[in-house]
Amino acid sequence: MKKLIMIVCLIFGLIISGATTVSAENTMSPATPKVAVFLAGAKVLSKNKEQLDEIYAKIPLFADTMHCELIPVEKSNSTANDYILDNKIDRALSTSDLIALGDKLGADYIVYEHFYPNAVHGGGAFHPSARVDGDLTIRVFSAKEQKDVYTDS
């Protein structure tokens, strides 16, 4: 009889502790931050559609590394393209542009890559296709704090 009461108490205790753990996880876990990724220079850097697809396939790695939820690339790209066309932007996106895009997308962070060409070299005997030299800059921008979290060239 004592063993039966002890087993019932043990099971009851496990059920209660499991329920409190689940409710604590649900109430204490903060919302996952969202990240939008814009690869402005991807088409310049890629040689063909397969290489461009390979670059775009790596976009989820940004979100995984940052422990964020990725805003769908199609949505990010179409919002950025609309913003650029509406505002007639012909330069790299500024800080105020990134803030506006973050607000439109509901993004906590924006990963923005831009390619700045320095020189274009025509094809030759050994390299039949043209080659573009330049600088690749990447920014991780916090839309909430309105500042760069990381930048590199």
* Angle of helix 95-105 versus helix 73-86 axis, rounded to 10: 130
E-strand stretches of 11-108 = 34-39, 69-70
51, two tokens: 């290489």
Q: What is the pLDDT of residues 73-126, one digit of tens each?
A: 899 989 998 999 999 988 888 999 999 999 999 999 999 887 777 777 776 767
Count CA within 13 A, CB hemisphere, residue 119.
4
Q: pTM for this structure?
A: 0.68
List Cβ neighbours of 131 (8 Å cut-off, separation of 6 or more).
120, 121, 123
